[in-house]
Structure 1
Amino acid sequence: MSIGETEESSYIVAKLLNSLKEVYTFKELEEILDMPSQLLWRYTTFSQFPERQTAKKILDAIRENRLIEKALKQALSRETGVAEEWRLLFNPRILNLVGYLAWKHFKDDEVNLVMTAGEKNSALAVVLAEWLSADACVATEHAWTSWGKFYSAPYNSSEREEYVYLHVPKEAIKRDSRVLFVKGTAKNFESLSALYSIAEQAKAIPVGGLVVLAYTDKWTEFTAKTGIKKFYVVASLRGGQLVVSI
């Protein structure tokens, strides 16, 4: 996303419409947005972009009808409870909605590196990095000889009852990089301590964190220890109900 991009830009609105197609049909969007489906199709396929005034009208309707909140609730929950993790982490349209929200919350923080732990979160990191015009970095449990030098740090995994080491090649993190730590789903965020330590070793600057779906509030214990003040949780379970924070 280019620096200085605003929410009403044609490109952002077209990306939002494309992502909302995961949940809404063209007929539903036609009625909600009061626009012909043929035109919406051209926007969602990026064959045409809305003019500035039209983009603002679409964005206002999306907000007024809470389309993003409803789309995320539908994607992240099922009749039997919270949806399976893979439905979030491997769904590019839903990840793009999360990317839009991440951009809204962190666009003024000059993030230039999105960092996560574990390969399953790599798509999330890449999508958010694209929205924030940043690089993406995935810390893994295996370090490869081809990396040469690398940073390492452990964290105590209560689920696995062992210390887990994360590794990142040194060339992946530039000095003074402004880092956003992200995670798809979290009962806690134990790996955050290792990610934070790696960022410190690289002389990078942690600016915030993001969790897409928090099952409990235990993650706050781990964020508090790092001193990160800006933390955004997209959705969380409260009293058995899924609450989305836009």
Structure 2
Amino acid sequence: MNELHGKVALVTGGSRGIGAAIARALAARGADVAITYVNSEDRANEVACDVKERGRRGLALRADAADPAAVAGAVDEAAELLGRLDILVNNAGVFPVGALSELDIATFDRTVAVNVRGPYAAARAAARHLGDGGRIISIGSNVAERVPFPGLALYALTKTALAGMTRGLARELGPQGITVNLVHPGPTDTDANPADQPQAQAIAGLTALGRYADGDEIASVVAFLAGPDARYVTGATVNADGGWAA
């Protein structure tokens, strides 16, 4: 697998979970990969080392997705240090859970800043570097399609917003040959949502396949959208959710 040879990717929130799996998948397909992180410096450096062990250049950059200047700076720094930018994956996010009465406006503002404004700021900065064949791929959530439990309204709101952004940017950037797509993962086994937690069986039961995904299954969908075989796919929402929304 070398379809991304010569390409440079930036994955926000790439130090763990789905983001780390995406970074490794893109590197395995030939891309040089930069990732951003906030607190997990050791884990971010570990992912960058994994990229390098695959024979590619790897870079870990600290940037809080809630800070638009930091996000834009990371995009520009990745393009400068790695010589170009071809692929942006908006993966960084926060996952607030709580009733309407429990989640205050400060939590609302922080969640929107990370989950919506961050991807917008990253896309805005990346558009200055991406050329024909460029890719912007955002990571949404299965709860943007179906919300079966209370306490997820704020999170679902932000992930649903990405669908509108994706369609709008696909129209705006299409004339430049840049595709923009959205992936909605289903329940995925990560540190934040382990497949062995007490409620995991009930969550898995809401999918058609009856199980959690692993990070590599989501990463492979992102890698496809980043590659040449997806060059005519844009403005799309891809549900990699095990049939959650079926």
What interval of TM-score do these two structures reach, taking the shorter chain for normalisation? under 0.3
Larger RCO, structure (CA 8 Å, separation 6 or more):
2
Give the TM-score normalised by the residue count of structure 1: 0.28
Greater radius of gyration (CA): 1
